């Protein structure tokens, strides 16, 4: 198959992606950079940030790295302040940071784990956007990374899935609150073989059973998710807000 030429729809834009040193987050930030955006890489570890920035710069991308643990208030403020100091504005924000610290059934999940799931997967994104809102340009785009698990939370991902369901509602609420100057949407990935999902996709039997549940008989790729995010970040989606774009190979996606 001929490689699709990547358009340059994000020239002159400044994009922040949380948890963007590997997996889906890195795929998204790389795509944004290849489309012409200046990109701000962030995650918890300096070494990972530095490595990701070097990879992006080697592809001719204007990349800047800032350590940010999204549950740390000072880190969040620092992410916003340093970005604005360097670039003067923020056009695109992707809230990608997530945790799934437990595979226990919901009724066996410890309170500390419930708190962490809520804090990382939902609350931290709200607090980050509170800090960013004054700096968002007219025509800006906020994108949440939710999950196919948000539509039918079950099994080892049940409570994680419920936090992703919450994001579906948050997108609707924030689209109303932040419009008309900022659009708010989400990408709901299906199963993508990344480090984060390795406990699922690493098992060949489980992997095959997931592939069979899709209509395209394959798992997703980080590139699939990045293409969807780039569409939502660009003016090609200028009349779309409050929506969740499911990128899951046809897996069922109704609440």
Q: Catalytic amino acids?
A: 160
| φ/ψ bin of 33: left (φ > 0), alpha (ψ from -120 to 50), beta (otherwise) | alpha
C-alpha–C-alpha distance, residues 161 and 190, integer Å: 12
By the 8 A CB rule, do 173 and 126 touch? no
By the 8 A CB rule, do 121 and 157 touch? no
> Treating both helix axes as pointing N-terminal to C-terminal, what angle do 23-34 and 222-233 enclose, rounded to 10 degrees?
50
By the 8 A CB rule, do 76 and 129 touch? no
Whose structure tokens read 């992410």? Answer: 79
């Amino acid at each position: 198959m001929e490689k699709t030429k990547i358009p340059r729809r994000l020239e002159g834009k400044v994009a922040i992606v949380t948890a963007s040193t590997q997996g889906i987050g890195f795929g998204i930030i790389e795509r944004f950079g290849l489309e012409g955006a200046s990109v701000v890489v962030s995650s918890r570890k300096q070494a990972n940030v530095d490595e990701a920035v070097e990879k992006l710069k080697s592809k001719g991308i204007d990349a800047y790295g800032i350590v940010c643990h999204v549950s740390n208030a000072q880190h969040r403020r620092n992410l916003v302040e340093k970005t604005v100091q360097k670039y003067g504005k923020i056009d695109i924000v992707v809230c990608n940071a997530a945790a799934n610290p437990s595979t226990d059934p919901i009724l066996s999940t410890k309170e500390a784990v419930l708190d962490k799931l809520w804090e990382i997967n939902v609350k931290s994104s709200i607090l980050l956007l509170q800090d960013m809102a004054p700096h968002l340009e007219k025509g800006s785009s906020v994108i949440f990374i939710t999950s196919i698990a948000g539509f039918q939370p079950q099994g080892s991902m049940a409570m994680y899935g419920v936090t992703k369901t919450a994001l579906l509602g948050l997108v609707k609420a924030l689209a109303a609150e932040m419009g008309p100057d900022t659009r708010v949407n989400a990408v709901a990935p299906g199963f993508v073989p990344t480090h984060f999902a390795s406990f699922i996709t690493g098992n060949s039997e489980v992997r095959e059973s997931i592939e069979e549940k899709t209509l395209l008989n394959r798992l997703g790729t980080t590139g699939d998710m990045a293409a969807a995010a780039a569409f939502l970040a660009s003016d090609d989606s200028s009349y779309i807000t409050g929506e969740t774009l499911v990128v899951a190979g046809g897996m069922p996606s109704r609440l």
